[in-house]
Amino acid sequence: MIKTTLAALALAVATAAGAQDIKARIGTSLPDSHPQTLGARKFAELADKKSKGRIRIAVFSNAQLGSDQQMQAALRGGTQEFTVPSTATLANLVKEFGVIGLPFSFASEQQADAVLDGPFGQSLLARLPEKDLVGLAFWENGFRNITNSRRPIARAEDVVGLKLRTMQKSLYIDLFNGLGANAVPMAVNELFTALETRAVDGQENPYTVVYTQKFYDVQKYLSTTGHAYDALVLVVSKKFWDRLAPADRALLQQAAAEATVYQRQTSRALNTSLRAELVKQGMQINEVPEAERARMRERLAPVIAKYQAAVGEDTAKAFFDAIANAAR
C-alpha cells in the first residue's frame, strides 16, 4: 500500500487563487502502448484535471527527448521537467538504487510493492535531491525474461555463448557475463535493429517491452527466467520542483500517487495478457524450471556479493530485511 495517503495529500491541494499556469514535459524511452508511457499520460491527465487545466504536462514517448540517460541529465540541468527511468539508470547517480535489480531477489510484484512503498524504498528516494532530482513514486516495468533467436533456455548452460543486449549498467553486464553470455550494453531504442541484423542474439525484458517494441518479429524464443525485477521511478527536476508553490507540489504528488495505482495495474494486466499475444505472433515460450533458476542464482553468487558490497552492506541488509518482512 502506498504510504502517503491520497486523502492526506488532497488536503494540501487547494490551489491559491491567481496561481500561474505551468507547462512541463515528461519523456519516456518506450512506445505509447507501454505502461511506462501509459502511466506518464495518466499522470499528465490527472495533473491537468486536478489543476483545472492550469498545469499542462506534454508527453514525449519513444525516446523523442533522448535516451533514459540523456533525459536524466536534462532533468538535472533543468532543461526537462519529468521522466521515468529504471532504477538501474538511477543507480549511475545514486549507487544504492542498484540493489533493486539484484538477481532473483523478489518473489512477486506484491512483495516489491511492499518494499518500494515502505521505509526502504522511501529511503532511496530521499537520496535523489542531492543529485538535483526529486522522486515522486516507484512504478513498474516487471520481471525480466530472456529472448533470443538461437535456442530455448531450459538449463543454465543454455545461456552460455549467447550475445545478449543488456541495459547500460554494470550490474546487468556482469550478470549475463556471469552466466556465460556475451553481454552487449546499448540503449533500448537501438535494440530492434541490432536484433534484426543479428549484431546480438537476444535481449532481456518484461513481456510488455518485448511486445511493444515488436521484438517478436526478430526473436523466436522467450524463456521465463524471471531473473530480475525492474522498477521505474517517476522523477522530477529539482530545479523545476523548487520553483513550484507548495500547493502545486502537493497536487502533483497526489497525481503521482493516483497514477502509480493505474500504472501498476496496467503493467500487470498487460504482462499477463501479452504472453498469449506473443505466442500468437510466433514466439516459442518455455518455462524455466525453478531448479534451473536456483542454479543460475548459484552461478551468480559472486556477482550478487560484488554488488551487495558496491551498494553498501548496510543498504543490502536493509533491502533483504525488507523483503523478508514483506508478503510474498
1 within a domain of the structure (yes/no): no
Q: Are 43 and 255 in contact (CB under 8 A)?
A: yes
- Between CA 269 and CA 39 the distance in angstroms is 13
| pTM > 0.85 | yes
What is the gyration radius of the CA atoms in the chain, in angstroms? 20
Instruction: Give the separation between CA 238 and CA 91, rounded to whole angstroms.
Output: 18
Is 160 within 8 Å of 299 (Cβ atoms)? no
Phi then psi for residue 219, to 5 deg, are -135, 140
- Are the C-beta atoms of 188 and 170 separated by less than 8 Å? no
Domain for residue 325, yes or no? no
Q: Is residue 117 part of a domain?
A: yes
- Give the per-residue pLDDT at 2: 56
User: d(Cα 152, Cα 90) in Å, to the nearest integer?
Assistant: 32
Enclosing domain of residue 309:
6-11+21-319
| Residue 23 CB neighbour total at 10 angstroms | 10
The reply to whether 262 falls in a domain is: yes
The whole-angstrom separation of Cα 71 and Cα 29 is 9
Answer whether residue 327 is part of any domain. no
CATH value at residue 255: 3.40.190.170
What is the chain's pLDDT, residue by residue, as a tens digit (328 residues)?
A: 554 445 445 444 443 445 789 999 999 999 999 999 999 999 999 999 999 999 999 999 999 999 999 999 999 999 999 999 999 899 989 999 999 999 999 999 999 999 999 999 999 999 999 999 999 999 999 999 999 999 999 999 999 999 999 988 889 999 999 999 999 999 888 999 999 999 999 999 999 999 989 999 999 999 999 999 999 999 999 999 999 999 999 999 999 999 999 999 999 999 889 999 999 999 999 999 999 999 999 999 999 999 999 999 999 999 999 999 996 6
The whole-number pLDDT of residue 17 equals 43
> Does the residue 324 lie in any domain?
no
Q: Which H, E and C letters describe the chain, residue by residue?
A: CCCCCHHHHHHCCCCCCCCCCEEEEEECCCCCCCHHHHHHHHHHHHHHHHCCCCEEEEEECCCCCCCHHHHHHHHHHCCCCEECCEHHHHCCCCHHHHHHHCCCCCCCHHHHHHHHHCHHHHHHHCCCHHHCEEEEEEEEEEEEEEEECCCCCCCHHHHCCCEEEECCCHHHHHHHHHCCCEEEECCHHHHHHHHHCCCCCEEEECHHHHHHCCHHHCCCEEEEEEEEEEEEEEEEEHHHHHHCCHHHHHHHHHHHHHHHHHHHHHHHHHHHHHHHHHHHCCCEEECCCHHHHHHHHHHCHHHHHHHHHHHCHHHHHHHHHHHHHCCC
In-domain check, residue 326: no
Domain count, the chain: 1
* Residue 2: CB atoms within 10 Å: 17
127 vs 323: CA distance, rounded Å: 20
Residues 195, 221: Cα–Cα separation, whole Å: 13
pLDDT of the residue at 244: 98
